[in-house]
Amino acid sequence: MQATIQRDKLFFASCTSLLVTSLSFGIRAGLLTTWKEQFSLNQEQIGVITSTAFWGFPLAIVIGGLVVDIIGMKKLLVGAFLFHALGIVLTITAQGFWPLFISTLLIGMGNGLVEAACNPLVASLYTTNKTTKLNHFHLWFPGGIVIGTLIVSFFGQTAMGADGATKIITNWRFLVGLMLIPTVVYGYLFYKLAFPVTERVASGISSGDMYKALLKPLFLVMIVLMLGTAITELFTGQWIDVLLKNVTDNALLLLTIETGIMVIGRAFAGPIVHRLSAAGVLLTSAILASIGLYLLGHSTGNMLFVGAIFFGMGVCYFWPTMLGFVSENLPETGAVGLNFMGGAGMFAVSLYLIFMGGYYDRLQASKTPAEAGQAIINVTLMIPLVLTVAFAILFFYKRKKSVAPAV
């Protein structure tokens, strides 16, 4: 007898697993300066540590995407639980660069397996409403970052000693340990629940047709565009404390505002996607992200908050709408298509983090170290500007195709 698929419980468990992913981003973003000072690391080393989460993610999501139709989504999520639990424990006990490197890699691999399983799971559970439900699922990414940054802000990381030197408060290990709570919750829920097969398997699309679809020009274009959308959103969010620490004492608050806007936006994605179409949403997003990065790279004081608002509105729909566009317009690519998209995006971020870490150190050693962070933001601004042109072409291409007369 086939087990009953409890759609709502599976969706809740999926959101909880993504919460662990986002907490790792939010808490880590607030702890980079602490790790740098406590373990005497330079910014390039910090860039390498953070990059491991981003290339551990594509490693896991690509491998997971290739086998998910064969072994099922449940086994991937068991793997995600094990990687998350081990990575969190190793982070708590870390004493230097290599333990942080390895633990961050493991958490990144857990994050990748979550998306490798949950993106096709959500698409399979809501076959007639994919883009909206993927946005609802992915609202827990910025939502967890909000929670993570608030946790770091309220509990604090450092304090100024009487001699004027910065003293490290070691409660950062406790903050990392809090991630074990949702990890245990989602692990238990997924262990108890039955899973459907992926949409591609349910539709009877062969593996050969799926791999042929991965070579379609539209899919290849979307892979390239995913590189830019991922860097714009995730690099800036992960490094915002580092990039703006010389111009504001509220860098983490800026991240909280940005991600809070993303939560609200993704919660109301349905009517927006319906009105603008997925391509229209992506075009609007690129324009707003460009405005936001320009303001963050050229402002001080209260205008930084305006920049964070525009940037939050801009990157809000990037990731889930890119996945939704592929799932709706290229459904034959299946789980592999979705996971190749996510893997490509995260791999691009990992390379960008390493490159920008070294560039930041060189700027810091120059005559204008106070401008280093905003200089990197201004370099990154070029990416959404290019995306604006690309998404404009995609938007008009899709609109022309939709009104073309039938032959």
Beta partners for residue 167, in sequence order = 159
- Rounded distance, CA 49 to CA 353, Å? 9
- Rounded distance, CA 184 to CA 206, Å? 36
* pLDDT at position 167: 47
Q: For the domain made up of 7-403, give the CATH fold.
A: Growth Hormone; Chain: A; (1.20.1250)
Beta partners for residue 160, in sequence order = 166
The torsion angles phi and psi of 317, rounded to 5 degrees, stand at: -100, 0
Per-residue pLDDT of the chain (407 residues; tens, 9 = 90+): 356 889 999 999 999 999 999 999 888 877 888 898 889 998 789 888 988 887 788 889 889 988 998 899 999 999 999 999 999 999 999 999 999 999 999 999 999 999 999 999 998 999 888 888 999 999 998 888 888 878 877 776 554 444 444 444 458 898 899 999 999 999 999 999 999 988 888 888 888 899 999 999 999 999 999 999 999 998 988 788 778 878 888 877 888 888 889 999 999 888 988 888 899 999 999 999 999 999 999 988 889 999 999 999 999 999 999 999 999 899 999 889 999 999 899 889 888 988 888 888 888 888 676 788 899 999 999 999 999 999 999 999 998 887 655 44
Nearest alpha carbon to residue 320 among 176, 173, 153, 119 = 119
Burial class (CB in 10 A: 0-12, 13-18, 19+), 192: exposed
pTM: 0.81
- Rounded distance, CA 175 to CA 31, Å? 10
